[in-house]
């Protein structure tokens, strides 16, 4: 059963792109199963930085790539990503599920309008049309890739959905803008030329690949705390980045999964609104943001930084049945005298060990911290020297911190990342038996 899931254990941006790229060397197929171009996955090698929004992060190893039915696909972003990548890669071996839902330009407009109507309670979405596309999917009026390829169905579906959207725009949002079906149809026809040759039945191909014992990697987008069911609702995305999303979003069953790895930073970050109990104070928060270059890969917005949160880590392990952890960005904490871990929450004098469902309660929670000795601040080159020597060359204080992480998680660390570059990685445990 050589299937491994790599998913975000925090609020997104944990370094999933880097970790998936690293493991892609030994993988045959890499699958995105949820989210859309709200994702920004960064990969760094050979002095170059790549940011992917829709194409799975195995692209630089020339592997078979699948965009599963659970993804919401922005045609324009995908076309651009394909154009940008083509001169930089040998081949694009891509399959797009014919059941994938499509983000159209009006979904992005609606995302912006809905946010502006939320006023102070705005979610802080990426404005990539994610919520409105998933809303249409669940409301059973979405457009799927299979519809895009059939002129008759395309025309009928666009007529129906645009008629309703225009009524909503006019009567609910009192907007003067109306969607032109002619323009949307032309947009669809233009972009389908670019993608039509990639379309197929992803579930069939994936299950065949599994039967043939191929190594399959599932690449999560966003993170556990942004999950529509288990995250800090309503400050979440509109899909399931947690483990269940793999099955509904790709068309395989759970018995095929061998390992589930949660990617986490050595601290936490969050972009957009919503509570964050262990948010760092201003000075250390800004230091971490600058040193860790914590600015969104999709929107460029500054990310809020916090101390590692054990309540969140335990929650992510439990919800996703994690077998292990990939931990990134410990280099960023270098140079601090003390590093903190939030071990539990306190509310009205009582200790809370489990992550609460109520946002009202979460907002009132105070962090309970345990302090650890910090480690030295090293340059990228110095970290690389340590990486070459392996785990035992790491500063003792960092190894103590890692032991604490394993103790909290109750599962082992598989991989340690000490810089953005592909090479700045220490593999502790293998995920595939080759
Ligand atoms: P993703 O959305 O989970 O793929 O993560 P992002 O790419 O949005 O954000 C992670 C950022 O951290 C990117 O800029 C990466 O290049 C960078 N990064 C990943 N691992 C490390 C690491 O171990 N150390 C440092 N300093 N940066 C890292
Ligand atoms: P990757 O895959 C971090 C956040 C947004 C907002 C909330 C809802 O790079 O880890 P949406 O546009 O999805 O409706 O926004 O979710 N968000 C992310 N934060 N990383 C991401 O993706 C995110 N995708 C969405 O900032 O708070
Ligand atoms: Mg990201």
User: Residue 299: which pLDDT band, with cuts at 50, 70 and 90?
Assistant: confident
As a whole number, the mean pLDDT across the chain is 96
Are 128 and 37 contacting, i.e. CB atoms less than 8 angstroms apart? yes
The verdict on 272 and 407 lying in the same domain is yes
Q: Decide if 434 is inside a domain.
A: no
Cis omega (within 30 of 0) for bond into 189: no
Spatial contact of 266 and 300, defined as CB atoms under 8 Å apart: no
Q: Is 107 a catalytic residue?
A: no
- Cα of 61 from ligand 2 centre, angstroms: 26
User: Does residue 432 lie in a domain region?
Assistant: no
Structural domain containing residue 124? 101-197
What's the angle, vertex CA 267, arms to CA 261 and CA 273, rounded to 5?
Answer: 95
Residue 235, pLDDT score: 97
Residues 251 and 302 in one domain: yes
Instruction: Band the pLDDT of 107: cuts 50, 70, 90.
Output: very high
- Which domain-ending residue is among 197, 217, 241? 197
pLDDT (tens digit per residue) in 175-216: 999 999 999 999 999 999 999 999 999 999 999 999 999 999
Three-class secondary structure of residue 323 per DSSP: coil
CA distances from 121 to 116, 273, 336 (A): 9, 8, 35
Number of Cα atoms under 13 Å in the Cβ half of residue 324 = 17
Q: What is the pLDDT of residue 272?
A: 85
Residues 208, 272 within the same domain: yes
Confidence tier at 297 by pLDDT (50, 70, 90): confident
Which of 197, 227, 257 is at the close of a domain?
A: 197
Q: What is the DSSP letter of 259?
A: E
Mean pLDDT over residues 7-26, rounded?
A: 98
Q: What is the pLDDT of residues 269-283, one digit of tens each?
A: 999 889 999 999 999
CA distance 381 to 358: 45
Global pTM value: 0.97
Which of 158, 178, 197 is the last residue before a domain boundary?
197
Which ligand is nearest the CA of 266, by number? 1
Give mean pLDDT, residues 247-262: 97
Task: List the CATH number of the domain containing 134.
Answer: 1.10.300.10
Among 23, 221, 241, 420, the mutation site with the greatest number of ligand 1 atoms within 8 A of its Cβ is: 420
Q: Please count the residues of the chain.
A: 434
Contact criterion met (CB below 8 Å) for 36 and 103: yes
Which of 7, 17, 18 is the best mutation target for the ligand 1 pocket, counting ligand atoms within 8 Å of the beta carbon and taking the most?
Answer: 18
Average pLDDT estimate for 241-248: 98
Q: Check the CA dihedral 278-317-430-296 and report its sign.
A: negative
pLDDT band at 261 (very low <50, low <70, confident <90, very high): very high
Does 208 lie in the same domain as 193?
no
Together in a domain, 280 and 388 = yes
Ligand 2 contact, 227 CB (< 6 A): no
Whether 13 is catalytic: yes
Residues 24-44 have a mean pLDDT of 98
Which ligand sits closest to the CA of 14?
1
Q: Which ligand is nearest to the CA of 223?
A: 2
pLDDT at 273: 86
CA distance 172 to 91: 47
pLDDT above 80: residue 433:
no
The strand pairing partners of 371, in sequence order, are 340
From 41, 101, 107, 230, the catalytic residue:
41
The domain tally of the chain equals: 2
């Amino acid at each position: 059963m050589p299937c491994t899931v790599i998913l975000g254990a925090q609020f997104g941006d944990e370094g999933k792109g880097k970790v998936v790229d690293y493991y892609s060397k030994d993988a045959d197929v890499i699958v995105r199963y949820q989210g859309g171009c709200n994702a920004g996955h960064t990969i760094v090698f050979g002095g170059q930085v790549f940011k992917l929004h829709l194409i799975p992060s195995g692209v630089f190893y020339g592997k078979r790539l699948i965009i599963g039915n659970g993804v919401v696909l922005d045609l324009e972003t995908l076309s651009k990503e394909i154009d940008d990548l083509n001169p930089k890669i040998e081949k694009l071996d891509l399959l797009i599920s014919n059941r994938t839902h499509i983000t159209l330009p009006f979904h992005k407009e609606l995302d912006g309008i809905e946010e502006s109507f939320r006023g102070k309670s705005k979610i802080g979405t990426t404005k990539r049309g994610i919520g409105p596309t998933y809303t249409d999917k669940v409301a059973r009026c979405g457009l799927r890739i299979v519809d895009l390829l059939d002129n008759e169905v395309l025309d009928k579906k666009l007529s129906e959905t645009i008629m309703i959207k225009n009524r909503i725009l006019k009567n609910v949002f009192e907007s003067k803008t109306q969607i032109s079906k002619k323009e949307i149809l032309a947009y669809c026809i233009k972009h389908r030329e670019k993608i039509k040759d990639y379309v197929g039945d992803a579930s069939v191909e994936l299950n065949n690949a599994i039967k043939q014992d191929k190594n399959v990697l599932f690449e999560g987008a966003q993170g556990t705390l942004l999950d529509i069911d288990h995250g800090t609702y309503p400050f979440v995305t509109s899909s399931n980045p947690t483990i269940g999303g793999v099955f509904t979003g790709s068309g395989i069953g759970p018995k095929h999964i061998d390992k589930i790895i949660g990617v986490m930073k050595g601290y936490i970050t969050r972009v957009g609104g919503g509570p964050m109990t262990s948010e760092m104070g201003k000075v250390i928060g800004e230091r971490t943001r600058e040193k860790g270059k914590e600015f969104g890969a999709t929107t460029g917005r500054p990310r809020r930084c916090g101390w590692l949160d054990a309540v969140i880590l335990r929650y992510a392990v439990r919800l996703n049945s994690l077998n292990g952890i990939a931990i990134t960005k410990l280099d960023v904490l270098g140079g601090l005298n003390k590093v903190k871990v939030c071990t539990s929450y306190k509310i009205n004098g009582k200790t809370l060990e489990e992550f609460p469902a109520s946002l009202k309660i979460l907002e009132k929670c105070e962090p309970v911290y345990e302090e650890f000795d910090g480690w030295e601040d090293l340059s990228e080159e110095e970290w690389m020297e340590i990486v070459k020597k392996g785990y035992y060359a790491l500063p003792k204080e960092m190894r103590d911190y890692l032991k604490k992480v394993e103790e909290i998680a109750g599962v082992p660390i598989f991989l340690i990342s000490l810089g953005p570059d592909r090479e700045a990685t220490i593999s502790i445990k293998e995920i595939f038996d080759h």
